[in-house]
Amino acid sequence: MFARSALVARGSATSQVGRIQLRFFSHLPMSIPIKLPNGLEYEQPTGLFINNRFVPSKQKKTFEVINPSTEEEICHVYEGREDDVADAVNAADVAFNNGSWSNIDPLQRGNALYKLAQLIEKDKDVIASIETLDNGKAISSAKGDVELVINYLKSAAGFADKIDGRMIDTGSTHFSYTKREPLGVCGQIIPWNFPLLMWAWKIAPALVTGNTVVLKTAESTPLSALYVSKYIPQAGIPPGVVNIVSGFGKIVGEAISTHPKVKKIAFTGSTATGKHIYQTAAASLKKATLELGGKSPNIVFADADVKHAVENIILGIYYNSGEVCCAGSRVYVEQSAYDELIKQFKVASEAVKVGDPFDENTFQGAQTSQNQLNKILSYVEIGKDEGATLITGGERIGDKGYFVKPTVFGDVKEDMRIVKEEIFGPVVTVTKFKSLDEVVEMANDSEYGLAAGIHTLNINTALKVADRLKAGTVWINTYNDFHHSVPFGGFNASGLGREMGAETLENYTQVKAVRAKLV
């Protein structure tokens, strides 16, 4: 099948050295049959999705996609380059300017999004399984992701005919009003930890407001976004409105960010990359929204239900294998409750089922890449070297697949790297505190500000602390508790703008003021 091949290092690695990613020049078909580990079979699209068709990349390059649970190749997909981005942007620009989407009755846009949600809903078992295969997350988590996708698309559809301006009373001599209009072509770059959910969080607000989209998938997890894109034309969304280009950040991401016809950039990923994209967008005055990293505090007061708090800490740090930007990776426990909580938390951490992500009883699947596994294990060594006490975990599980034990550090100091830096894995630090003022100060002592958790039976304490925490989302007696109507986003180095809720619509519209003199 392959005419010739090239080996290109990408930083993901074999167990000892570094995995070499195969990139080929090929004549790969536009879809290939795949049998999933749970017995389901489906056709996986491999092309770029441009103008409602799957097409090969201009240069016919492909790259391999790896199963993180087995370290085996799943398939190859076509790799986009700058010329493919240009094609996708041109298609999106034509679709925007011809009015086939931006000028139609808003209710039609809402109906199309709702139909897209229904098509996904009918196929949700296969879609969740693709997510688990490609990302390594537990199938239970993947099913939860797909439900969130469905609910969010339906919720966003309901905003279609509610995007309006206002009339302004400026006296009897003039008629003045505002209206909200779409921006045009929106460039979107999504991460590998929630591939399908981030696809939905990005395209839904862009589409419901009348924009068109060029989206880059994460190179390690392109499969689910490509698969569900086959439903775009079936939902009644015109050609060019949604375009998907698989590829690498330094090529495809950069080309999208710098293209003059792209009017807005939406990015989810690391803070370092987000800063670069923000600077790039600023050079051409593109609107930008960034959902970036986090090092979120999870606070437990002495009056909290310890068992319930431990359950929420587990969900906060081990859910999705800890690869969550808002993971509750810094736990603060009131001094009098510390010993009991550590005792229960250690037992609960060691009881977390880690392994085959297609096992319905698995809670923590594989890390998404060898790179990420190596990073997590390196931070375990950093924590030991810094003098923290390793309470449990800190080891790789097996020699095949990117699995790691849930890891808890105690006796930490606030200036330790494992407390300050985002690890993006199932590693948590636990610290004592004596007073409300002390824990608020420690919780806020971070460059980030994405999320926080508070556990207490005293609603007055909960609300006082929530008001003082510098975080975009505060969960009380729960954690990682998302709802499609509740906005999500960060303060400080955790980003700009919001996902979900009515607030996200502001990111994809601009205000036009009209003032007419009456004669």
- The verdict on residue 400 lying in a domain is yes
Same domain, 245 and 342: no
Radius of gyration of the chain (CA): 24
pLDDT at 24: 63
Among the candidates 276, 292, 308, a domain finishes at: 292
Instruction: Write out pLDDT tens, residues 30-55.
Output: 999 999 999 999 999 999 999 999 99
Instruction: Write out pLDDT tens, residues 472-501.
Output: 999 999 999 999 999 999 999 999 999 999
Same domain, 284 and 343: no
pLDDT at 290: 97
- The verdict on residue 37 lying in a domain is no
Structural domain total, the chain: 2
CATH number at residue 318: 3.40.309.10
113 and 235 Cβ atoms separated by less than 8 Å: yes
Strand 212-216 vs strand 185-189: parallel, antiparallel, or unpaired? parallel
- The verdict on residue 511 lying in a domain is no
- Helix (H) or strand (E) holding 44, with range, is strand 41-45
Query: What is the phi-psi region of residue 285: left when phi exceeds 0, alpha when psi lies from -120 to 50, beta otherwise?
Result: left
Helical pair 139-157 and 195-208, crossing angle rounded to 10 deg = 0
Same domain, 82 and 210: yes
- The verdict on residue 14 lying in a domain is no
- The verdict on residue 196 lying in a domain is yes
pLDDT at 29 over 50: yes
pLDDT at 277 over 70: yes
Same domain, 247 and 348: no
For residues 174-188, give the mean pLDDT.
98
205-239 b/e (C-beta count within 10 Å ≥ 16 → b): bbbbbbbbbbbbbbbbbbbbbbbbbbbbbebebbb
Q: What is the DSSP letter of 84?
A: H
CATH number at residue 212: 3.40.605.10
For residues 166-187, give the mean pLDDT.
97
pLDDT at 8 over 80: no
| Strand spans (E) along 314-394 | 330-334, 389-392
Question: In angstroms, rounded to a whole number, what is the distance separating the alpha carbons of residues 494 and 500?
Answer: 16
Instruction: Write out pLDDT tens, residues 96-152.
Output: 999 999 999 999 999 999 999 999 999 999 999 999 999 999 999 999 999 999 999
- The verdict on residue 68 lying in a domain is no
* Confidence grade of residue 23 (pLDDT, cut at 50, 70, 90): low
CB-CB neighbours of 515 under 10 Å:
11
296 and 327 Cβ atoms separated by less than 8 Å: yes
Provide the H-helix boundaries in 387-472. 417-420, 436-444, 459-468
Same domain, 198 and 333: no
pLDDT at 26: 63
Same domain, 146 and 107: yes
Same domain, 221 and 310: no
What pTM value is reported for the model? Answer: 0.93
Looking at the chain, the whole-number percentage of residues with pLDDT higher than 70 is 95
* End-to-end CA separation in angstroms for the chain: 73
Same domain, 181 and 216: yes
- The verdict on residue 312 lying in a domain is yes
For residues 20-37, give the mean pLDDT.
80
For residues 260-283, give the mean pLDDT.
95
Within 8 A by CB and 6+ apart from 214, the residues are 85, 88, 89, 92, 185, 186, 187, 188, 243, 245, 256, 262
Same domain, 287 and 302: no
Same domain, 308 and 288: no
Instruction: Write out pLDDT tens, residues 205-263.
Output: 999 999 999 999 999 999 999 999 999 999 999 999 999 999 999 999 999 999 999 99
Looking at the chain, the whole-number percentage of residues with pLDDT higher than 90 is 95
**Mean pLDDT score across all residues of the chain:** 94
Domain containing 166 equals: 78-292
- For residue 490, the SS3 value is coil
pLDDT at 25: 62
- The verdict on residue 354 lying in a domain is yes
* Confidence grade of residue 27 (pLDDT, cut at 50, 70, 90): confident
Within 8 A by CB and 6+ apart from 433, the residues are 299, 332, 333, 334, 335, 439, 442
> Can you read off the two tokens belonging to residue 415?
């200036």
Among the candidates 292, 312, 327, a domain finishes at: 292
Active site residues: 291
> Can you read off the two tokens belonging to residue 207?
């589409």
Question: In angstroms, rounded to a whole number, what is the distance separating the alpha carbons of residues 389 and 408?
Answer: 8
Same domain, 288 and 322: no
Question: In angstroms, rounded to a whole number, what is the distance separating the alpha carbons of residues 352 and 141?
Answer: 14
Question: In angstroms, rounded to a whole number, what is the distance separating the alpha carbons of residues 220 and 372?
Answer: 11
- For residue 62, the SS3 value is strand
Q: Closest by alpha carbon to 59, among 42, 74, 45, 78?
A: 78
Same domain, 259 and 301: no
Among the candidates 238, 266, 292, a domain finishes at: 292
Provide the H-helix boundaries in 158-194. none
